Structure 1
Amino acid sequence: MRIRRARITTAAIAAVLLTALGACSRADSGSTAGGNQAPAVDKGPAAELRLGFFPNVTHAAALIGLDKGLFAKELGSTKLTPASFNAGPDEINALLGGSLDAGFIGSGPTINAFAKSKGEAIRLIAGAASGGAQLVAKPEIRKPEDLAGKTVVTPQLGNTQDISLKKWLKDKGLTDKVQVTNLDNAQTLDSYKQGKVDAAWLPEPWSSRLVLEGGAKVLLDEKEIWPEGKFPTTVLIVRTAFLKDHPQTVQALLRGLVAAVDFASGSRTDAQAAVNGKLKEITGKALSDAVIQRAWAGIDLTFDPLASRFPQLAKDSVTAGIAKEDTNLAGLVDLSALNAVLKEKGKPEVNASGLDKK
């Protein structure tokens, strides 16, 4: 009897251990985004939301939301901590490093972050702006071929405008004939005025500043190379883990975004004043009326991320030499929270163009 009991006890312990190991394995497999995961656990509103953005007119929705307190109002007890960046790659590093929770950013770094993390780290949850990027150059540069032997600037290696420029140069057969360099936007303006820069592919308001303050001419408006002139200049992304842990906070952020876009639609004058006020607070200097009006005319504030453009944008990253291979974008887009907010407000839902499916 003692021997039989011992055997039963040993078998029982083994079964328990196997069950525990299996449970641990399943728990581990659900610890990252993507794949077959354990069900997400809603941890309630976050104590803090760290939000990235750029001091650019193409980030007008973010600037309006911050200036008018629209995000803070919707977030309630969640502390909002804004963080300003010059270009997308730096912001992506902060997101992937865990020091940022969500960010307004360009399409190029969004795709790069999704690829770098094997589709795990981030999700695209809304749009913010379409348009608002131009290739401007010295007046004597009148056609693409005139750029041969010249220096063209973009804000940062691998940022959205850097990819657009390099893809365009490749299409024009100018890749090895043009020197592409990267500078902070303010430095680009100074360098152009000093004659050190021949052309630049920039977001607003910097293309307008080179035109109005530096005497540059528009060689190409990026709208000209996209169907219907629409392309995602700025989108809103979030860390996947944050989205899973704090869906209520993400919805609150999106309510603030929708409110900011609605505010801009209601009054262009008030919207420009809010953007300029925030830019002055961040940079110490407001834009001239002429600059902000010209910049504003080139953008369209929208919470639609124009998801259908992203497969082409992923291909452009390869053509530009930024990515080695085309990124599989399945699962990049999650518009469920945005569409829930839009439904609340009686607005049409936004289409993920199939990129919400793994």
Structure 2
Amino acid sequence: MKKGLLFFAMLLTAALVLAGCGSSSSSSASGTSEITIGYFPNINHVPAMVAKSEGYYQEQLGDDVTINYKTFPDGSSFMDALKTGEIQAGLVGPGPAMNNYTNGADVNIIAGGSTGGTVILAREGSGIETVEDIAGKSYITPRVGCTHDVQFETYMEERGITSQRIGGDMIHQTGPPATYQAMFETGKVDVAVAPEPWASVLQQNTGAKVIIPADEVSFGTTLPASVLVSSGKLIEENPEFVQKIVNAHKDATKFIQENPEEAKTITIKDIKETTDQELSQEVVDGSWENIGFTYEVDAEAIQAFGDSSYNLEFLTEKPDFSDLIDTQFID
């Protein structure tokens, strides 16, 4: 191949890689590429909201890259978007990342996002005062086998109480956390396994009682509540691009740690725009007490969580997550 043609082919390959090789990324005639970052409208995902507000991805990736953001109600829809190329990176609970990895999905955890934030609450009038009272009651989580679901079911299984899915008597329902208040108010569910800020919303707006606090639920102080993920394909083809994604995420995390009040304001605005629900300062302040923000990843906690997912029959084979976590971008 002539040198000129070889150089052109190299440029074309680079442009395709920058586009993320997905359906939502493209290169225009002017050379502008796109990337879409996914996240949830939960306080565990504040680093994405801050990065969006402060323009950290734009700073790292440059003005010739168009940055898009897409929110998701649960990990299943997020992972579908990552697998189809609709998004190239983003924040998701470790549960969906692990479950999809064990099923052969091309996903890697490239940084931590947050820790904590899962609270178990009982509806006022449900008759639930203690953990033992939850037996035979209905509970709601975002999805079957999601991070919050595994945390709750692990805690309950250790006390001899399980769901109908594995022969017990707890009745499982699923739904977006933003709908939990309505579910409590109509009496359609007794217990909510709620990520923040929705746990604090339930406390403030419905008088819900905390039965298992965030620091007592299984893996509550060690497991990442959210992780930054991307595809192994993108990591292999353009590690420098992925490094810039992680750098932007690290900048956002540092901003949260150094400017908590400004980060709270950004959070309130972003969740209002996404869910049309405006959180009070009291709710956000309460949520912040249950959550920590870090880009570090506890690999041992993730493996222990995966082992529990297998024991609870969310996974058909005992997992090995030694290749799921790629720490080269945060080391």
Q: Do they fold alike, i.e. is TM over 0.5?
A: yes
Cα distance between partner residues in 1 of 2:100 and 2:65:
26
Provide the residue aligned with 1:36 in structure 2: none
Cα distance, 1:177 vs structure 2: 2.1
Cα distance, 1:228 vs structure 2: 8.7
Residue 62 (structure 1) aligned with residue 48 (structure 2): yes
Amino acid at match of 2:311: T
Cα distance, 1:200 vs structure 2: 0.9
Amino acid at match of 1:289: Q
Structure label with greater radius of gyration: 1
Cα distance, 1:246 vs structure 2: 2.2
Provide the residue aligned with 1:304 in structure 2: 296
Alpha-carbon displacement from aligned partner over 1:286-339 (angstroms, at most 9, x marks no partner): 211111110111100100122220111111111222111211112111111222
From 160, 168, 174, the counterpart of 1:182: 174
Provide the residue aligned with 2:9 in structure 1: none
From 119, 122, 126, the counterpart of 1:137: 122
Kept in 2, the 8 Å contact 1:68–1:274? The answer is no
- Residues 157 and 306 of structure 1: CA distance in aligned 2, closer, same or farther (over 3 Å): same
Amino acid at match of 1:122: V
Q: Secondary structure at the match of 2:87?
A: coil
Residue 319 (structure 1) aligned with residue 311 (structure 2): yes
Cα distance between partner residues in 1 of 2:14 and 2:73:
33
From 121, 146, 154, the counterpart of 2:106: 121
Q: Secondary structure at the match of 1:286?
A: coil
Cα distance, 1:225 vs structure 2: 4.5
Provide the residue aligned with 2:276 in structure 1: 284
Provide the residue aligned with 2:215 in structure 1: 223
Kept in 2, the 8 Å contact 1:49–1:78? The answer is yes
Alpha-carbon displacement from aligned partner over 1:123-146 (angstroms, at most 9, x marks no partner): 110001001111111354121211
Q: Secondary structure at the match of 1:100?
A: coil
Kept in 2, the 8 Å contact 1:89–1:158? The answer is no
Structure 2: runs of 5 or more not aligned:
1-12, 20-32, 163-167
Q: Secondary structure at the match of 2:292?
A: strand
Displacement over 6 Å in runs of 4+: 41-44
Q: Secondary structure at the match of 1:325?
A: coil
From 218, 224, 237, the counterpart of 1:245: 237
Q: Percent identity?
A: 27
Which stretch shifts more, 50-59 or 276-285?
276-285
Cα distance between partner residues in 1 of 2:220 and 2:156:
22
Kept in 1, the 8 Å contact 2:136–2:171? The answer is yes
Amino acid at match of 1:63: M
Provide the residue aligned with 1:73 in structure 2: 59
Cα distance between partner residues in 2 of 1:225 and 1:178:
17
Within 5 A, what are the aligned runs for 1:95-110?
Answer: 95-110=82-97
Cα distance between partner residues in 2 of 1:266 and 1:142:
38
RMSD of the alignment, in Å?
1.8
Kept in 2, the 8 Å contact 1:42–1:247? The answer is no
Which stretch shifts more, 276-285 or 189-198?
276-285
Structure 1: runs of 5 or more not aligned:
1-40, 340-358
Cα distance between partner residues in 2 of 1:98 and 1:60:
23
Cα distance between partner residues in 2 of 1:338 and 1:190:
40
Alpha-carbon displacement from aligned partner over 1:29-88 (angstroms, at most 9, x marks no partner): xxxxxxxxxxxx977644222211001111011111112211222121222121100111
From 172, 188, 194, the counterpart of 1:202: 194
Cα distance between partner residues in 1 of 2:276 and 2:179:
16
When normalised by structure 1's length, the TM-score is: 0.79
Residue 275 (structure 1) aligned with residue 267 (structure 2): yes
Within 5 A, what are the aligned runs for 1:149-168?
Answer: 149-168=136-155
Cα distance between partner residues in 1 of 2:280 and 2:76:
29
Cα distance, 1:122 vs structure 2: 1.1
When normalised by structure 2's length, the TM-score is: 0.85
